[in-house]
Chains A and B, each alone.
Chain A
Amino acid sequence: KQEVTQIPAALSVPEGENLVLNCSFTDSAIYNLQWFRQDPGKGLTSLLLIQSSQREQTSGRLNASLDKSSGRSTLYIAASQPGDSATYLCAVDSRGFQKLVFGTGTRLLVSP
């Protein structure tokens, strides 16, 4: 059974710092991995999708990498801003039907 873990659970940084969020999964046989952002009491906003054949994806200040063999993904946020404050969720699709298995998330606070 796929298990997804995210470390750290919470992170507080000053504005402008570069930071890395970690995601690990137990079963390396995945179709894709997706990173989401969740604001308090709100829905999930998709940030990046990495297919199993890809090593990384970039969108603006965000870069996500995938190492399937070690069961790890990282989300790199460059030059963090207060507006980046949110919970970041990693989710893995092991079935190809978007039956996503989510991690517990990393709660990020970027202070001005």
Chain B
Amino acid sequence: EPEVTQTPSHQVTQMGQEVILRCVPISNHLYFYWYRQILGQKVEFLVSFYNNEISEKSEIFDDQFSVERPDGSNFTLKIRSTKLEDSAMYFCASSPISNTEAFFGQGTRLTVV
């Protein structure tokens, strides 16, 4: 069964460092998303991406964040200068078209020390 895959499963980084979280969405899907979940809190929307551009972003998604689809299969989230409060589980998701079921990956646990 097709699935969204994310790498790495766990990343530890020092405050101020740049990190890139990687995702391979389901192959025929056109919409891609990043969400995050700080430990013990709700899952929060970060950004949606369609047709090689951001279609929607939240207040959390500030200038420190960027997304890219560098090739036909990968979808990345970059955090330029990590802060302690960026520590969270980051989920990638995809859907075939808008207003349909979103399929989530297993997440990348980011720990900023």
Contact = CB atoms under 8 A, between A and B. Distances in A.
A42 B99 contact: no
Interface residues of B, number: 26
Interface in A47-104: 49, 51, 89, 91, 93, 95-104
A46 B42 contact: no
Contacts of A95: 56
A93 B98 CA distance: 10
Given A32-B99, A34-B101, A43-B91, A98 B48 contact: yes
Please classify how large the interface on chain A is, using the bins under 10, 10 to 19, 20 to 34, 35 or more. 20 to 34
A91 to B, nearest CB: 7
Contacts of A43: 91, 104-107
B101 A46 contact: yes
Contact of A42 (B93, B95, B98, B106): B106
A104 B42 contact: yes
A12 B34 CA distance: 32
Contacts of A51: 99
Contacts of B45: 99-101
Contact of A97 (B55, B91, B101): B55
Given A43-B91, A89-B43, A98 B98 contact: yes
A18 B106 CA distance: 29
B100 A49 contact: yes
17 contacts: A32-B99, A34-B101, A34-B102, A43-B105, A43-B107, A44-B93, A93-B99, A96-B98, A98-B48, A98-B93, A98-B98, A98-B99, A100-B35, A102-B43, A102-B44, A103-B42, A104-B42
Interface of A: 31-32, 34, 36, 41-46, 49, 51, 89, 91, 93, 95-105
Given A43-B106, A98-B99, 10 more contacts: A34-B101, A43-B105, A44-B43, A46-B101, A46-B103, A89-B43, A91-B43, A93-B99, A102-B43, A105-B42
